[in-house]
Chains A and B, each alone.
Chain A
Amino acid sequence: MSTKKELGGWLLASPYLLSAILFFLIPLGWSLSLVFFDWNVISPVRTYVGLGNFREALTSTRVFKAFVNTYKFMGIIVPGVIVASLGLALLVQHLPRGKQFYAVGFFLPYLASGVAVSLVVRGILSYDSAFNEFLRSVFGSSPRWLRDPFWATLVISAMIIWKLSGYYALIFLAGLQGIPRELYEAAALDGAGPLTQFRKITVPLLYPAFYTVLVLSVGLCFGIFTEPYVLTGGGPRFATHTWQLEIYSQAFERFRAGYGATVAVLNAVITFGSILIIRRVVESWGRRLGFR
């Protein structure tokens, strides 16, 4: 009976274990050795280069661009997505009826394929599009959009904010619904206006939601790929180059498996470190508010 029960657990878990050995542990081990080799994937010869890949990656301007751009994207996307999603959540929260309808509607962008949205964005921004004709008729000129480093960064950030805000709004909405109404009523009796109530009650009590959204959106900035791949190829002049583009281009366009794997390790370490630092900062804010 007992051994049968033991066996049952392992049996049920076996599909996971099998897949984890094959597609997690083996690649994991392989990645540890890959980073020390210069290997073009096809040739049978692998040259041991020691820390050469790391040295190259740490001095590469392409990697440096990807590194800097990630924080540039983060500086736009994270505040943007927090403001947008909190705004959507507050809007839905205040509707007397139809909350579900609007919450579901705002979520729709999350379902979009980045490729399909890029298609639309490219079309809207193409030189002789109706949108640009309109801009030229009003302002006399239209920006060069994806060929301009500033606008290209902004457009890609806006696409990501658009995609995520409805999803993160649901996180804020769940937080808002957990705030007792009595708090607002008591504050109103004490003469606190809506703005003070928002600052002193809503924001502090939404701390767990802020935390979730912040960590999720920061992590996401390290994985930007689809939009720049399709729209700009990382350009112009590497203004929208990202970690994943660099890994893809090194490992799968130039077939430098060892170097690509090295950049990936670097990316993971930096992502992990950045999230750790941001979590520290946010948690110290949380402690001041009395959350653990």
Chain B
Amino acid sequence: MVQAKKRGKAKVLALYTTATVVLALMIIPYLYMLIQSLAPWHEVDRVFIPSSLGVRSYTWLFAGGAASLPRPWLRALGNSALVATVVTLSRVLVGSLVGYALAVLSFRGRGVIQNFILFHMFYPGIILLVPTFLLIRALGLYDTYAAMILPGLVSTWAIFMYANFFRTVPKEVIEAARMDGAGELRIIFQIMIPIARPITAIVFLFLFMERWIELLWDLIVIRDPAKQTLNVLLATMFGPYGGYEGPLYAAGVLLTFPIIVLFLLFSRRFVQGVSLVIST
């Protein structure tokens, strides 16, 4: 009996040791980036643990880079934040409005719209890449913020998620609100969106992250470095900035850590929320 208990304890200890080691492995790239961004420049990549830590790489970035190759790093961070925030808010808002219409209202043509959305969702986006670029150019939007924002304002996935969730809300709740004289918009904003909070947390996080790390589209439609997102600026600075690894790591930190903070803020609801996402 005592021995079995001991064996159980050893097993639990082994489990936690394994889990912690694996967790460390999973976050090593983040730690590496953070540590190297604080290392003295001649030690970057050359040693795992730097002899001292400093913020030279960050001050260099914030001052705009080398005089020979000035790059608006901070502005790029702002661009990323602007584009990702506008796009994500719009996707969440449109997702909940359309999702409500499809799940709760009955109107002629609803079935058609529903089927069309499914078709849209599963249509391979890669085919649309070239013609969408040509359309943006024809509209005179090449190299503008609008080019990064407009095509992304609506997400079929967000609509789908909200519609599925709203279908589970008891009809009585909505009927009662209507009896009290509430209009559809009031029902959406004062009842449905508040109950949908777990879904919103997940949808917001996934969509924000997706937009934040977009590369291909932003690479295609933006030429002016002042409008580039941080992700694109970093990707296109790989070659010419050969001698500035430290600042590149600092930029990597600026790119990565906001998402992690956002995620950790949401993480309380996260695991249960993801199972909702998966089951639908």
Interface stretch, picked from A14-22, A60-68, A181-189, is A14-22
Which bucket holds chain A's interface residue count? 35 or more
Contact between chains at B45 and A129 (CB < 8 Å):
yes
Contact between chains at A13 and B101 (CB < 8 Å):
yes
Q: How far is the CA of A118 from the CA of B251 in the complex (A)?
A: 13
Which of B48, B209, B238, B278 is most buried by chain A, counting CB atoms within 10 A of its CB? B278
Interface stretch, picked from A73-81, A221-229, A278-286, is A221-229
Q: How far is the CA of A15 from the CA of B155 in the complex (A)?
A: 11
Which of A10, A95, A96, A120 is within 8 Å of B33, CB to CB? A120
Contact between chains at A268 and B19 (CB < 8 Å):
no
Say whether B4 faces chain A, with CB atoms less than 8 Å apart.
Answer: no
With A111-B259, A124-B45, A268-B126 as contacts: A12 and B101 at CB distance below 8 Å: yes
A-B contacts counted at CB < 8 A amount to 241
Q: Mark B253-269, 1 if CB is under 8 A from A, else 0.
A: 00110011001100100
Question: How far, in Å, is B18 (CB) from chain A's closest CB?
Answer: 6
Q: Chain B contacts of A173 at CB under 8 A?
A: 271
Q: Chain A contacts of B231 at CB under 8 A?
A: 113, 115-116
Say whether A271 faces chain B, with CB atoms less than 8 Å apart.
Answer: yes
Contact between chains at B128 and A171 (CB < 8 Å):
no
Q: Chain A contacts of B274 at CB under 8 A?
A: 170, 174
Contact between chains at B260 and A108 (CB < 8 Å):
yes
Question: How far, in Å, is A100 (CB) from chain B's closest CB?
Answer: 5
* Beta-carbon nearest neighbor of A87 in chain B: B22
Q: Chain B contacts of A248 at CB under 8 A?
A: 216, 219-220
Interface residues of B in 120-134 (CB under 8 A from A): 120, 123-124, 126-134
* Beta-carbon nearest neighbor of B212 in chain A: A113
Q: How far is the CA of A99 from the CA of B272 in the complex (A)?
A: 12
Say whether A252 faces chain B, with CB atoms less than 8 Å apart.
Answer: yes
Q: Mark B62-103, 1 if CB is under 8 A from A, else 0.
A: 000000000000000000000000000000001001101110
Say whether A193 faces chain B, with CB atoms less than 8 Å apart.
Answer: no
With A115-B235, A230-B235 as contacts: A5 and B105 at CB distance below 8 Å: yes
Question: How far, in Å, is A64 (CB) from chain B's closest CB?
Answer: 18
Say whether B189 faces chain A, with CB atoms less than 8 Å apart.
Answer: no
Interface stretch, picked from A148-156, A198-206, A259-267, is A259-267
Which of B102, B116, B130, B245 is most buried by chain A, counting CB atoms within 10 A of its CB? B130
Q: Chain B contacts of A48 at CB under 8 A?
A: none
Secondary structure type dominating chain B contacts = helix
Say whether B249 faces chain A, with CB atoms less than 8 Å apart.
Answer: yes
Say whether A135 faces chain B, with CB atoms less than 8 Å apart.
Answer: no
Contact between chains at B126 and A257 (CB < 8 Å):
no
Interface residues of A in 107-142 (CB under 8 A from B): 107-109, 111-124, 126, 128-131, 133
Contact between chains at B33 and A119 (CB < 8 Å):
yes
Q: How far is the CA of A166 from the CA of B27 in the complex (A)?
A: 11
Q: Chain A contacts of B101 at CB under 8 A?
A: 8-9, 12-13
Say whether B194 faces chain A, with CB atoms less than 8 Å apart.
Answer: no
Q: Chain B contacts of A268 at CB under 8 A?
A: 124, 126-127
Q: Nearest 7 CB-CB pairs, A to B?
A: A9-B107, A30-B131, A27-B131, A12-B101, A268-B124, A113-B213, A116-B252
